[in-house]
Structure 1
Amino acid sequence: MLHHLTVTAQHSPELLERVLRVMRHRGFSVQTMQMNLDSELQQVELQVALESERAIALLTAQLSKLIGVTSVAVSERAVEPKLAVV
């Protein structure tokens, strides 16, 4: 099953590594990911498409507990992958 998440957090050098580790430990596989940094606010927004048979609530609960994460939302919209036309 494919799930779409938006994670908002305060920017830090280790943020992406911690978020990805939790996703992996909870049994989710990243299919696509887009990250945007607002340098004025020092805030990061991650849009991630994840695949797993597990309930998405298992992941969102753990992500929201991470230091610096301000919000985690399950989204209906897909993260648009950038495809190269050959």
Structure 2
Amino acid sequence: MRKQLTLSLENQVGALERLLRVVRHRGYAVKRFDAHLPDDQSCLQVCMEVESDRLAFSLVAQLAKLSEVRSLSMRGEAVSVAH
């Protein structure tokens, strides 16, 4: 099952690596990935499509725990990110 995720990450060294490591550890394969840094260079804007037979809840819950994640949505549904 494919899921589309949209995230806003603080522009910190290693933030993308940590994001992708969580995706891999949760058993998801990245099918599409796009990241860009707006002109103000404050937060990376990431859009990715992932695929797995697993439920998306565990992936979303773990991504929301990353300290760099400022916002997270799955197919347009906002996910609470508390730090």
Aligned residues: 76
- Where structure 1 has 5 or more consecutive residues not aligned to the other structure, the ranges are 77-86
Separation in 1 of the partners of 2:24 and 2:62?
Answer: 12
How far, CA to CA, are the matches of 2:10 and 2:39 in structure 1?
10
Question: C-alpha deviations, 1:19-57, integer Å up to 9, x for none?
Answer: 000000000000010001124151111100001011111
Q: Indicate the RMSD between aligned Cα atoms, in angstroms.
A: 1.2
Unmatched segments (≥5 aa) in structure 2: 77-83
Identity percentage of aligned residues:
34
Question: What is the TM-score when the length of structure 1 is the normalising length?
Answer: 0.82
Deviates more, 1:58-67 or 1:32-41: 32-41
**Which of 1 and 2 has greater Rg?**
1
The answer to whether residue 20 in structure 2 is matched with residue 20 in structure 1 is yes
Moved over 3 A (4+): none
TM-score, L = length of structure 2: 0.85
